[in-house]
Structure 1
């Protein structure tokens, strides 16, 4: 923040003084017209106007920061972190930065007051400013690349596969109505739907990217898709070459776990020229189709294609274009429907050291 990082600490004396609004110096100016700018996933700039005298006596600023959903209760990741931030008075605007109390894509309220530290260590303070609201940003490509590096470290060796598959209830594939928004019953197509909010809170694809979800992991002993599924007893299978051909780009979207030993990697398959590809460019790290740690397309000397997936992570693949049911086959699976393993709107474990980066969830 203009050469000095904002520090955070509890200060009971400051709180008591703030309540009384008294001190042994001239009345301090109240911050007015708070302005929030340069918002990232774990920082923001704050500035304000000040009217009246007493500016020469200002030694500190107090910033009160709270999550919007509960303004009266501090629900930060670490309970010992106060909402009140104390900063030395520096030229405005200044930067508030800290991954341990700011989460990405989260709404906050903030207000400020000016303070003068007295010889006895107590503070004289102004009245609080008005309260303003803002929302932190998604992960930038910098944070996503940090997450990517963590995922690469545990991906493991590559195993061959031949099909992408999608599990669902029977009526999703066979019904004649249009009750499923992700199905075009008349044209027998699976349509892109908005991705839910499972995974990392700061992933830019959550709640924004539209696509059709597929899996491609295989069982180690059979080389085939598993018989169990958390999403339904019927499975659509399509040849890997139909979704991941030479015209399809692959992007890294997320890496997370759900309080288990299993880790998930979300990849996006986006055909060149599609709206999905336009969304991913500049937002997500692009992976080389034939040289990455998760999903590879290998072209043989004769032009044939073969495909590999990472062994030690579960891949969730988002294909950004509609998929015709006629291009694959639907069959019942013989295993169980393990609903407890569903990742729909699943919350990421914020304490996992394997899949978290310095900016939080």
Structure 2
């Protein structure tokens, strides 16, 4: 998202200290935006261009309303870049965060013999938004998640906990279907699925000592569970994608996977955006065919898996019943933000 605002109406040529005239950048534009870089370019009047030795670039997060621009003879607090052919690539100087709105403006400058700078007026202010993680960045996150996933434990059912009202609405209003809903903004800021992918959340984690789903839940005291086998949602026609890896200032680490039936709308969304996993051989959630032709399922022991199934799910496939444990609200991931200081689950391009 790129737009121009707050044009300051500066003349193309202004007089700086010492009588040096420098052109003011005009019609600034942003291009080639990634999660941690962008290209910036602008037009300039021809007069005085040969005097330009540097560009001053002022970048702020959009929510930061305080002005923090260079002032002549101040110690620079923003980027001072040597004048290079435009467009100029800006990368990493501020540890740009993915999917974050920024404002940027520029000055031209001429370095003086005494080390000071003569500067033009500031350009107009440009607003833009950095992009999601690319598949390269997601693969880096995937490798970090694989490193702590632990051994695989068998499981047989997917389950979904919610409040009683949710299941009543699914029965009465949605014709007994749990319908896909837009994923919230929890987890890594750069994950391409946040606020974009629709699905139904499920869990599959089991207790180590019983092999059964835990009786506690952060999402509600009622549980939908398919009583037979996990192949209702996960089978040889289901594609598996890695979506995110994060923690919330605790020792728990979460991995989000997407289960999308081949050829579905969700499957089309994930292709090219998310790393695809081998359904029968990955470190998080596997579905393998045994010698007797039956499917066996395993999940990672040392991470908490959250699974997004991209299609509606019929309540008649399973049962809804209250759980006997507690509702552990402290473990809820609804709109929960990732810990930016964790060395286990962060990559270098932002949180």
Task: Determine if the TM-score, normalized by the shorter chain, exceeds 0.5.
Answer: yes
Corresponding residue for residue 278 of structure 1 = 268
How far does residue 54 in structure 1 lie from its aligned partner after superposition? 1.1
1:66 lines up with 2:54 in the alignment: no
Corresponding residue for residue 343 of structure 1 = 333
Coordinate RMSD, CA, aligned: 1.6
1:301 lines up with 2:264 in the alignment: no
Corresponding residue for residue 9 of structure 1 = none
SS for the counterpart of 1:44 is strand
Whether the 8 Å contact between 2:15 and 2:22 is mirrored in structure 1 is no
Do the aligned partners of residues 188 and 73 (structure 1) sit closer, same or farther apart at CA in structure 2, a change above 3 Å counting? farther
Q: 1:90 aligns with which of 61, 84, 90?
A: 84
Residues of 1 paired with 2:230 and 2:173: CA distance? 24
Deviations 1:65-106 (A, max 9, x none): 0111123167xxxxxxx8621100011111000074310000
Corresponding residue for residue 224 of structure 1 = 212
Residues of 2 paired with 1:197 and 1:124: CA distance? 44
Q: 1:200 aligns with which of 188, 191, 198?
A: 188
Do the aligned partners of residues 199 and 184 (structure 1) sit closer, same or farther apart at CA in structure 2, a change above 3 Å counting? farther
Could you state the TM-score of these two structures normalised by the residue count of structure 1? 0.88
Q: 1:49 aligns with which of 40, 43, 48?
A: 43
How far does residue 25 in structure 1 lie from its aligned partner after superposition? 4.8
Alignment of 1:150-299 (within 5 A): 150-175=144-169, 185-238=173-226, 239-299=229-289
How far does residue 24 in structure 1 lie from its aligned partner after superposition? 2.1
Corresponding residue for residue 102 of structure 1 = 96
Whether the 8 Å contact between 2:183 and 2:195 is mirrored in structure 1 is yes
SS for the counterpart of 1:28 is strand
5+ residue gaps in structure 2?
A: 1-13, 69-75
Do the aligned partners of residues 83 and 230 (structure 1) sit closer, same or farther apart at CA in structure 2, a change above 3 Å counting? farther
Corresponding residue for residue 10 of structure 2 = none
How far does residue 261 in structure 1 lie from its aligned partner after superposition? 0.4
Do the aligned partners of residues 360 and 142 (structure 1) sit closer, same or farther apart at CA in structure 2, a change above 3 Å counting? same
Residues of 1 paired with 2:83 and 2:203: CA distance? 54
Do the aligned partners of residues 170 and 115 (structure 1) sit closer, same or farther apart at CA in structure 2, a change above 3 Å counting? same
How far does residue 21 in structure 1 lie from its aligned partner after superposition? 7.1
SS for the counterpart of 1:279 is helix
Residues of 1 paired with 2:173 and 2:303: CA distance? 33
Q: 2:305 aligns with which of 315, 328, 342?
A: 315
Residues of 2 paired with 1:22 and 1:119: CA distance? 15
Residues of 1 paired with 2:260 and 2:282: CA distance? 16
Residues of 2 paired with 1:295 and 1:133: CA distance? 41
Whether the 8 Å contact between 1:147 and 1:357 is mirrored in structure 2 is yes
